[in-house]
Amino acid sequence: MELTSSALVYLVAGLTLLALTATVLLWPRLAGRHPLQILGRIGLLTVSQLLALAVCALTLNAAYGFYSSWHDLLQPTGGQLALGPAGPGARSGPPVGDALVRPTTEGGLDQVTDLPQGKPEEVGQISSIRVNGKESGLSDQMFIYLPPEYFNPKYARERFPVLLTLAGYPGPALHLLSELHTPQTAWDLQRTGRMAPTVVVMARPTVAAPRNTECVDVPGGPATETWFAKDLPNALRSAYRVSRSPASWGVLGYSTGGSCALRLALRDPGSYGSAAALHADYQVPEDWSTGDLFGGSRQLAQGYDLAWRLQNLPVPKSHLLLVSTRTEEDYAATQQFLATASSTAQAHPDLTVDSLFLPDGGHSFDTWRRELPASLEWLSDHLSPAPDREPRAG
């Protein structure tokens, strides 16, 4: 039973009701001062309260995805990597023992009921996979959508562009399917010719749950930037027919995921050539969810300040899209960063900056769903067709 499943919440809630009922019924019998009666009362209260707390914890975790699976909860971050076969849609490649991607039942894919239905060669395929990183030592569950063309023999030698999509904090990767409707929207755009056939990867920025590492390499801690910039592309290239060119890789995210998207495009242009950020922040915060990510180092923190980078460091070749609303709390900050980025782009043709602002909307899935189709179309226009092909057999 999945950690985030409703069935588990209902089960524990039922056990809580049974424990409370047992407490009411047995309390008169345990009202004396005998040591066993005292221990019985303590036991009933303890079990009832622990079960009630478990219901609250499971409900919050199901809603916000602090831990997306039992694997997250029970295995310490950076532990031994569990390597296995390459997973659905995998091409011939490394031996099974060296695979960095394997299929998994984690993540709650069975909870999403409105996914495209049909044969893979007609509607594509969505799978849950676990990816393991060699350099960072991190491991996480995510989803991958392979377009119908991936299964068409006509495209057997083609490599496909890749779009990494990132959820917010502390949301699970499942929110990209169940709430944002990412693969559903991508399929609709691709079948109507508004988006090129693209492999869409759906992940969360919270690789080192439950801490919010904001996709940075934490000194002495999780190397989250390395995970997204190096490990994830390398792992996917080992298992799927995807492009090796950064110009064919893009990243989209909302909220914290949008902040990560911009950082990856500006700090790691050798991995991602374009980014669309929905309602992002432009500096790494220091709050209850992050702690001090840079160990007090002003220099490290400055390196992740996006406006400072554009004004003081070499400007990368990158395409950026800033998306928000005119009623969003961070509208002024977005306008300020947009002004800086646009000014920099005028002097550096390798950098392009576009923006999309809705007249209203807040920090919510209702707004992000409205912004998603135009953002995906923009990214498709800026993802270069994969220049590389699979070698001929033999």
**Is 74 part of a structural domain of the chain?**
no
Whose tokens are 């409703």? That residue is 6
Q: Classify 217 as helix, strand or coil.
A: strand
What percent of the chain clears pLDDT 90, i.e. is strictly above it?
Answer: 66
Measured CA to CA, the distance from residue 283 to residue 260 in angstroms comes to: 10
Q: What are phi and psi of 370, to 5 degrees?
A: -70, -30
pLDDT given for residue 86 in this prediction: 31
156 occurs within a structural domain? yes
Residue 1's pLDDT is: 62
Number of domains, the chain: 2
71 in a structural domain = no
* Whether residue 233 sits in one domain with residue 96: yes
Same domain for 51 and 173, yes or no, is no
Q: Are 147 and 18 in a shared domain?
A: no
Confidence category of residue 98, pLDDT binned at 50, 70, 90: low
Residue 360 pLDDT greater than 80, yes or no: yes
In Å, how far from its chain's centre is CA 385? 24
Q: Which of 283, 267, 276, 274 is nearest to 315 (CA)?
A: 267
Q: What local confidence, expressed as pLDDT, does residue 262 receive?
A: 98
Residue 58's domain comprises: 6-64
Based on the domain organization, do 36 and 162 belong to the same domain? no
Condensed to tens digits (0 to 9), the pLDDT of residues 122-177 reads 999 999 999 999 999 999 999 999 999 999 999 999 999 999 999 999 889 999 99
Counting Cβ atoms within 10 Å, is residue 95 exposed (0-12), middle (13-18) or buried (19+)?
exposed
Q: State the pTM of this model.
A: 0.80
Name the token pair of 2: 């999945």
Mean pLDDT value across residues 212-228: 95
Residue 106 pLDDT more than 80? yes
78 contact partners, CB below 8 Å, separation of at least 6: 136, 137, 138, 222
**How far are the Cα atoms of 102, 256, 275, 353, 354 from residue 326, in angstroms, in the given order?**
42, 19, 21, 18, 16
Residue 102 pLDDT greater than 90, yes or no:
yes
Answer whether residue 96 shows pLDDT above 70: no
Where a domain ends, among 21, 36, 64? 64
pLDDT band at 308; cut points 50, 70, 90: very high
Q: Tell me: do 165 and 224 sit in the same domain.
A: yes
Helix, strand, coil tally for the chain in percent (to 5):
45, 15, 40
- Residue pair 160/147 in contact (Cβ under 8 Å)? The answer is yes
Give the pLDDT mean for 223-242: 97
134 in the same domain as 50: no
CA distance 53 to 61: 12
Q: Given a cut of 90, is residue 347 above it in pLDDT?
A: yes
Q: What is the CA radius of gyration of the chain?
A: 23
- Angle subtended by helix axes 35-64 and 6-26, to nearest 10: 160
Q: Is residue 376 part of a domain?
A: yes
Mean pLDDT of the chain: 88
Residues 30 and 166 in one domain: no
Crossing angle between the packed helical segments 182-191 and 365-382, to the nearest 10 degrees? 40
Confidence of residue 41 (pLDDT cuts 50, 70, 90): confident
For residue 57, pLDDT over 80 is answered with no
In this model, does residue 364 exceed pLDDT 80?
Answer: yes
